[in-house]
Structure 1
Amino acid sequence: MIRPEDAQFHRPTSDDPLWSETNYFGLYAGQDTDRPMNIGVYGLFREPLGVLGSTVSINSRRVTMPWAADYWDAWQHLVVPQPSDLLDYSLANGLRVRCTQPNMVWDVDFSDAAAGLELHFRYTALMAPYDINDPAQDPMAAGRDLDLTWGHAYAGHFDQTGHYEGEIELRGVRTPIDCVSTMDHSWGVRAERQTSRLSWLHAHFSRDLVVHGLFDFSTAGGPDAPSALTMTHGYVLEKGQVFGLTGGGGTTDRTGFYPERVALSVVDSADRAWELTGTALTTFPWQSQPGVVGHNSLLRWEMDGRTGYGEAMDFVGLGELGEVYHRLHQAEVVARA
Structure 2
Amino acid sequence: MIRPEDAQFHPPTSDDPLWAETNYFGLYAGQDTATPLNIGVYGLFREPLGAVGSTVSVNSRRVTMPWAADYWDAWEHLVVPQPSNLLDYELANGLKVVCSEPNKVWDVDYSDPAAELELHFRFTGLMDPYDINDPAQDPMAAAKTHADKDWDLTWGHAYAGHFDLTGQVEGEISLRGATTPIDCVSTMDHSWGVRAERQTSRLSWMHAHFSKDLAVHALFDFGTDAGPDAPSPLTMTHGYVLENGKVQGLKGGGGTTWRTGFYPEAIQLSVTDSSDRTWELEGTALTTFPWQAWPGTVGHNSLHRWTCNGMTGYGECMDFIGLGELGAAYNRVLGTR
- TM-score (norm: length of structure 1): 0.97
Find 2:226's aligned residue among 207, 221, 224. Answer: 221
Q: Give the whole-Å Cα distance in 1 for the aligned partners of 2:127 and 2:157.
A: 25
Query: Shift of residue 291 of structure 1?
Result: 0.3
- 1:295 maps onto 2:295 in alignment: no
Structure 2 residue runs of 5 or longer lacking an equivalent are none
Is the contact between residue 218 and residue 227 of structure 1 (CA under 8 Å) also seen in structure 2? Answer: yes
Find 1:212's aligned residue among 217, 220, 233. Answer: 217
Is the contact between residue 151 and residue 200 of structure 2 (CA under 8 Å) also seen in structure 1? Answer: no
Q: Give the whole-Å Cα distance in 1 for the aligned partners of 2:103 and 2:275.
A: 26
- 1:193 maps onto 2:198 in alignment: yes
- 1:272 maps onto 2:277 in alignment: yes
- 1:148 maps onto 2:151 in alignment: yes
| Counterpart amino acid of residue 56 in structure 1 | V
Is the contact between residue 148 and residue 232 of structure 1 (CA under 8 Å) also seen in structure 2? Answer: no
Find 2:328's aligned residue among 318, 323, 337. Answer: 323
- 1:178 maps onto 2:183 in alignment: yes
Counting matched residue pairs gives 332
Q: Give the whole-Å Cα distance in 1 for the aligned partners of 2:242 and 2:260.
A: 30
Q: Give the whole-Å Cα distance in 1 for the aligned partners of 2:335 and 2:263.
A: 22
Structure 1 runs, 4 residues or longer, greater than 6 Å off: none
CA RMSD of aligned residues (A): 1.0
Is the contact between residue 287 and residue 294 of structure 1 (CA under 8 Å) also seen in structure 2? Answer: yes
- TM-score (norm: length of structure 2): 0.97
Structure 1 residue runs of 5 or longer lacking an equivalent are none
Query: Shift of residue 176 of structure 1?
Result: 0.1
Q: Give the whole-Å Cα distance in 2 for the aligned partners of 1:141 and 1:304.
A: 28
Q: Give the whole-Å Cα distance in 2 for the aligned partners of 1:5 and 1:302.
A: 36
**Residues 278-320 of structure 1, C-alpha deviations (whole Å, 9 max, x = no match):** 0000000000000000000000001111000000000000000
| Amino-acid identity (%) | 78
Query: Shift of residue 203 of structure 1?
Result: 0.2
1:139 is aligned to 139
Query: Shift of residue 151 of structure 1?
Result: 2.8
1:19 is aligned to 19
Q: Give the whole-Å Cα distance in 1 for the aligned partners of 2:189 and 2:141.
A: 17
- 1:311 maps onto 2:316 in alignment: yes
Is the contact between residue 151 and residue 196 of structure 1 (CA under 8 Å) also seen in structure 2? Answer: no
**Residues 144-201 of structure 1, C-alpha deviations (whole Å, 9 max, x = no match):** 4474362300100000000000000000000000000000000000000000100000
Find 1:239's aligned residue among 220, 231, 244. Answer: 244
Q: Give the whole-Å Cα distance in 1 for the aligned partners of 2:259 and 2:332.
A: 17
1:261 is aligned to 266
Is the contact between residue 39 and residue 59 of structure 1 (CA under 8 Å) also seen in structure 2? Answer: yes
1:162 is aligned to 167
